[in-house]
Structure 1
């Protein structure tokens, strides 16, 4: 095998292995087995996650729960764990947490043109969300697929979360 092909294969293998642990925090399986992810008595647990992978790796949305923004952006292969009071809960995401500054707008214009500037202004800071009913002493799972948030079953979520790491060890 020649050197460029070997180098490409090794680079690809490194990228794939890095992508599988992109969340960076404690692994879901480890936290689950320790009981750390169990809801507090009388509250519900909400887990918001994004599957791992290479596509869209650089894009990390901001996430809000009932208008409170999580400190870290939602990276691929990462998840948030949040104790919530039972009842309705609004989970939202947006690509920006503010309107673009003149310098940011100029950068977007240079890289994406006027259409990019328009799309950034119209869509970048607009929050899109999901309202769910949080039951006491149970866990709800919310998947961000790159375009929208959706509530998923425990079985689907646990298969996805297998390679995800916790982003908010303090719960916020």
Structure 2
């Protein structure tokens, strides 16, 4: 069944202004205007972010719902998919953000607006731990695009996190998947929107 509702969750220090979010939003609007698109600015608190997202998606039909997440957003997308049973597209997903972001506690700048600051509080690390899940229950609900050249996250750890899922492993590449446009057809196909 093609999806009817699609959420995009950005990564740490990122925003709905990210290149991937903007590109995907434009392509969804152009090619699939019937799909409800939602790309919210996520608050720094993981608990608040997930409360907001799950509340915002609560009236969406599960069979027609999908979530796309990049980096930390991929970790969040996994939490959403495991919680409600929808499909998820993961773009270089963070696997253990509590471990990786513990060293980033403190004042942070927004990637797309360096003048904007936010505080990543110590308790946010514990909130990330609380969102962790064991092995994914329905690997067929997942499609991951993972770059071996990711300079932030280890591609081996990312692929090992999603056994049985559909994985597009890129030789080279980077954390931001700067050639994302090339992979959009595969993403849309997975979502039943080709």
Q: Same-fold call, TM > 0.5? A: no
Judging by fraction of residues, say which structure has more helix.
2
Q: What's the TM-score, normalizing by structure 1? A: 0.24
**Higher Cα Rg: structure 1 or 2?**
1
Name the one with the larger strand percent: 1
